Structure 1
């Protein structure tokens, strides 16, 4: 507005034509609030041009030609140096404003791209860590109970009795004296030898026990899986099977379960051969455990 006030009383003459089909006529040029007004010599307005629509077509030392955004050939030829200077002032300001707007747009676009990449790369890993941190041992147990019940039911059921549970407890106590991180379920017709699920649940097939000559293979498996259970590695496997959206819904309370999608991810690796140790079980206890599913 300050620039407009500076040139508010500036007037000049020029040659204007309405289109390519008309000849140039001499006009008076003056400033309005947001436009220039072209009038005849009787002060009758012929047209007005918005200051934001004026473009410089050509210029030499003596004159300059301006036009508007329209494509009908309308143009204005001016020889007055002050008027040329004033119009160029507005044109240059608009160009600077346009360039500033473009720069701001590119900066915002760049920030958006960088943020999107950061979210794609950084956010999923962090939300997995966050999910693991909010899952207590009790919640971890609740997460796998539906799967264990369904898996046991579809695999011939579990093999258990008071005597079997006592023998399993003796083995687990020998492996970890202070607390019990692992638990063992013997399943009648499970096709895989052993699965290690979250919350330290080890699912053993009856075939795994029947193919062993003594308890050492079972003990080696449990000793091998104990560090994994302490580090909650099976829980991390379960979390990694979920999508980012599923984890967000779980954290917000919309979903209460994290579903096992690929059971093979929980297969235990083959146990390493171990040196023969002193028997942990008497022959009767081992045979009882080995034949748990025969009853």
Structure 2
């Protein structure tokens, strides 16, 4: 039997040379279970080559020249017409090569696995981890600085904040009546740009002038202020900014304390063009109760039909009682004039 089960016996004629100084001689080559045997015409064995140790000196070329691994001076040349033997030896060599351990290949796959893991961490874990860490460690003064920088960029498009003196004093009174959970909020009335209301890092709340000028009572604008307070509690505005800005900006903020101008410009544009997500109505109701503000005026301002805000209307905590006034009538009139004529 041979090492190849599909063959009972394989023999061929070739030219064998024992070493570099020896003459080539014609021999009979046969394949056994584990060795390639080289014999003379009297069937006397001249050499035995271990099948796993056979190397080819001229891959893809015929006549085929083979030699034992580590000794290129001993050679066996098989002519082109001995194709069966040549193909059998090559098939054996391929099978043996596949069966051998490949530590280099294993190292390659291990290295690729490590790189893939690092890449996955970089794509999926690092941005979130860096962002969460920044939200925890960035001081309030830096949040305030970022909020002011974003506000300056927004006002380039939306127009300068409304600052009529008497209206500004009334706005401060409204802010004191509706304090942020983290302290006094900075209320800013804009002549345009922001759709209704929005919030920025550092406790800045942006209000469109229409929320003040188009309604007869301060409960509507108060409702939007409460909604922004709650939205900032549910989704930290710094977290929202860093999510939009990306990993590079987050790392730069952590390492240098600076935020690229391009990231600020992009987020300012985002604030003015993207629709705001509303706070869940049950959360809003708890907020209206905590700040002692009627929910119905805000609910109808958001949806004049009341269909989308029915829960706010029906569960208004002050539907039958009157809460503490938000502003006096005179202060409300002053606030309505904050943007001038």
Scaled to the shorter chain, the TM-score interval is 0.5 to 0.7
Is the Cα–Cα contact under 8 Å of residues 194 and 202 in structure 1 kept in the other structure? yes
Contact 1:196–1:267 (CA under 8 A) maintained in structure 2: no
Pick from 141, 146, 151 the counterpart of residue 148 of structure 1. 151
Pairing partner for 1:126 from 124, 129, 146: 129
Offset, 1:238: 0.9
Indicate whether 1:59 and 2:31 are aligned.
yes
CA–CA distance in structure 2, aligned partners of residues 142 and 292 of structure 1: 25
Q: Deviations over 1:203-223 (max 9, x none)?
A: 112221111111111222222
Q: For 1:192 and 1:170, how far apart are their aligned partners in 2?
A: 24
Give the alignment's Cα RMSD to 1 decimal: 3.7
Q: Which of 245, 262, 266 matches 2:270? A: 262
The CA distance in 1 between the partners of 2:182 and 2:130, in whole Å, is 30
Query: Which blocks of at least 5 consecutive residues in structure 1 are unaligned?
Result: 1-21, 29-37, 47-56, 78-82, 84-92
The partner residue of 1:75 within 53, 61, 66 is 66
2:254 alignment partner in structure 1: 251
Q: Provide the C-alpha distance between the structure 2 equivalents of 1:223 and 1:153, rounded to a whole number of angstroms.
A: 26
1:129, 1:179 → 2: CA distance? Answer: 19
User: Are 2:211 and 1:203 equivalent residues in the alignment?
Assistant: no
Which of the residues 205, 213, 216 maps onto 1:213?
216
Which residue is 1:88 aligned to? Answer: none
Q: TM-score, normalised by structure 2?
A: 0.58
Please, what TM-score do these two structures have when normalized by structure 1?
0.66
Deviation sequence 1:2-39 (CA, Å, 0-9, x none): xxxxxxxxxxxxxxxxxxxx9625525xxxxxxxxx44
Q: 1:282 to 1:181 in 2, by over 3 A?
A: closer
For residue 266 of structure 1, report the CA deviation from its aligned partner. Answer: 7.3
In the alignment, which residue of structure 2 is the partner of 1:281?
327
Question: Unmatched 5+ residue regions in structure 2?
Answer: 1-12, 38-47, 69-73, 75-95, 280-297, 300-311
Task: State the number of aligned residues.
Answer: 238
The alpha-carbon distance between structure 1 residues 221 and 116, as it changes in their structure 2 partners (threshold 3 A), is same
Q: 1:286 to 1:94 in 2, by over 3 A?
A: same
Map Cα deviations across residues 55-75 of structure 1 (whole Å, 9 max, x no partner).
xx9731671554434235223
- Residue 165 (str. 1) matches residue 168 (str. 2): yes
1:180 corresponds, among 180, 183, 196, to: 183
1:107-162 CA distances to partner (integer Å, 9 max, x unpaired)? 22222223322321111111111222232221112113233123334434222244
CA distance in 2, matches of 1:150, 1:76: 78
SS at match of 1:116: helix
Secondary structure, in 3 states, of the residue corresponding to 1:226? helix
Q: Distance in 1 between matches of 2:30 and 2:147?
A: 78
CA distance in 1, matches of 2:16, 2:233: 93
Secondary structure, counterpart of 1:285 in structure 2? helix
